[in-house]
């Protein structure tokens, strides 16, 4: 029974991967590249890399422990099979990261990850009946929905940043700010129904500029308190805060632009590749933004 369930999961994953337009044979190579990148990250920055890996896994484990999903599994399988499946899922999900952490002798982080995987197999995260309040309610919808999906991660990053201030570790604070900004860009992964866009009275340019303005303001609401405190506490390193802020000012509009280049489909392999490329050489964003902006405008003309 569990075997069939896992086979079905594999089929679903394979189907999702094929939907990106890439052949399935490429998947193991991509997994290897991702593992190597994580390994490289750890090699370069053992502490921050470990935090990044832990945070990434935490988010995945959290998603797997979602209530509706768990309810479905509980209804379908016996209690014993349910826990076996959940343990297996969490094990498969965290195994690559645990291996990488162990390869660098980061025992402590590996043990934390194993414990998290075990713990999350027995946890279910209920969706709140009432909505989680957000400061973005009147300006929907990316940040309202995104925040509700990632508030634990944001809280965790804020907590880490507070630790960074406490132990006088400016890099940890900047890492958290970057993490929050990256999380905000993920809010734009979700394409809205065409009907939502149809309602808009804006021209494509007006629509995009409004999205940029709102997105940046809402993102700044998260990161500016941290950056200002950073500039105040680590006053000799204020320029780093400015660089990170500059990065965010380009990153978010770039993510929004990519969303509407891909629209109405979700951001997929081509757009993610461009983003990865830009992360490896950040100034590329500045160069590519106008090109993709024009592409997004052309695409939006079909819907506005």
Contact flag: residue 79 with other proteins (CB under 8 A): no
Min dist CB 199 to other proteins, Å, is 4
Distance CA 219, CA 255 (A): 13
Min dist CB 140 to other proteins, Å, is 4
Contact flag: residue 166 with other proteins (CB under 8 A): no
- Tokens representing residue 282 in the block: 């950040």
DSSP state of 66: B
**Under 8 Å CB-to-CB from 264, ≥6 apart: which residues?**
191, 194, 303
Contact flag: residue 3 with other proteins (CB under 8 A): no
Residue in this structure with the two tokens 């890492």, named with its chain if needed: 175
Region of 100-108, 118-126, 198-206, 227-235 interacting with other proteins (CB under 8 A): 198-206
- Tokens representing residue 110 in the block: 């590996």
Contact flag: residue 145 with other proteins (CB under 8 A): yes
Candidate residues 148, 231, 269, 299; the one interacting with other proteins per rule CB under 8 A: 148
Distance CA 170, CA 8 (A): 46
Residue in this structure with the two tokens 């991702």, named with its chain if needed: 34
Candidate residues 144, 178, 185, 257; the one interacting with other proteins per rule CB under 8 A: 144
Cβ burial of 4 (10 Å; 0-12, 13-18, 19+) is exposed
Contact flag: residue 193 with other proteins (CB under 8 A): yes
Given the complex with other proteins, which of 147 and 222 has the nearer CB atom? Answer: 147
Binding stretches for other proteins (CB under 8 A): 127, 129-131, 137-141, 144-145, 148-149, 190, 192-196, 198-202
């Amino acid at each position: 029974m569990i075997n069939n369930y896992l086979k079905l999961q594999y089929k679903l994953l394979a189907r999702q991967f094929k939907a990106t337009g890439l052949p399935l044979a490429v998947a193991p190579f991509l997994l290897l590249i991702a593992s190597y990148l994580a390994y490289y990250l750890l090699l370069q920055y053992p502490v921050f890399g470990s935090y990044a890996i832990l945070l990434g896994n935490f988010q995945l484990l959290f998603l797997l422990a979602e209530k509706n999903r768990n309810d479905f599994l509980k209804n379908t399988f016996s209690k014993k099979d349910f826990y076996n499946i959940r343990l297996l899922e969490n094990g498969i999900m965290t195994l690559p990261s645990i291996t990488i952490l162990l390869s660098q002798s980061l025992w402590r982080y590996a043990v934390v990850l194993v414990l998290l995987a075990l713990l999350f197999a027995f946890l279910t995260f209920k969706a709140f009946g009432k909505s989680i309040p957000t400061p973005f309610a009147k300006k929907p919808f990316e940040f309202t929905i995104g925040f509700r999906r990632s508030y634990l991660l944001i809280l965790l990053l804020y907590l880490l940043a507070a630790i960074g201030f406490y132990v006088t570790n400016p890099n940890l604070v900047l890492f958290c700010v970057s993490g929050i900004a990256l999380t905000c860009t993920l809010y734009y992964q979700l394409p809205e129904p065409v009907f939502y866009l149809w309602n808009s009275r804006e021209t494509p340019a007006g629509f995009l500029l409004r999205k940029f303005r709102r997105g940046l303001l809402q993102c700044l609401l998260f990161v500016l308190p941290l950056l200002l405190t950073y500039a105040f506490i680590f006053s000799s390193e204020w320029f780093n805060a400015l660089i990170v802020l500059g990065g965010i000012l380009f990153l978010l509009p770039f993510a929004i632009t990519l969303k509407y280049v891909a629209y109405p489909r979700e951001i997929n392999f081509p757009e993610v590749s461009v983003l990865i490329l830009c992360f490896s050489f950040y100034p590329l964003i500045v160069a590519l933004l106008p090109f993709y902006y024009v592409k997004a405008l052309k695409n939006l003309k079909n819907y506005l």
